[in-house]
Structure 1
Amino acid sequence: MPTSVRLPNEYEQRLDYLAKQTGRSKAFYIKQLIMDHLDDLEDVYLAEQRLEQLRQGNDELIKGDEFWSGLDVDDKVS
């Protein structure tokens, strides 16, 4: 599914300059940015969403030992 991105003028100009100076496309750099940083964005925004769910009472915390006891995990570390 195609995606379009509108950037503030300053960022558009910087991206244009980088692309012209290096001979690569703007799309190349946008793709690189997304591939390099999407994991971090997911971590931050999904953690914020979970925290908000906790604050609103839509979720609950459990103790670590309770969590681990529900998993089939060996006590031994290889």
Structure 2
Amino acid sequence: MNKRVTLEMPEEMHQLIVEYASEAGAEPDDYLRQMIQRELENLQDLTAAEEAMKRIRSGEDKVVSSEEFWRGLDD
């Protein structure tokens, strides 16, 4: 189910969204939705990377070279 959100923003920001949406051939609402989706995906990736770094620092996971990684996989 979709939810409607009302957002106040400076006129300059709104104008930029309208301009970029037009250049992309999209409606401003669709363009903004896509921007938010990309940012949410970036935040998920960042969270996953931070979790991986915690596991590496704690010794739970280890970093190996690409040579070490591929060694034995062809067997």
- TM class by shorter-chain length? 0.3 to 0.5
TM-score w.r.t. length of structure 1: 0.45
The alignment's TM-score, normalised by the length of structure 2, stands at 0.46
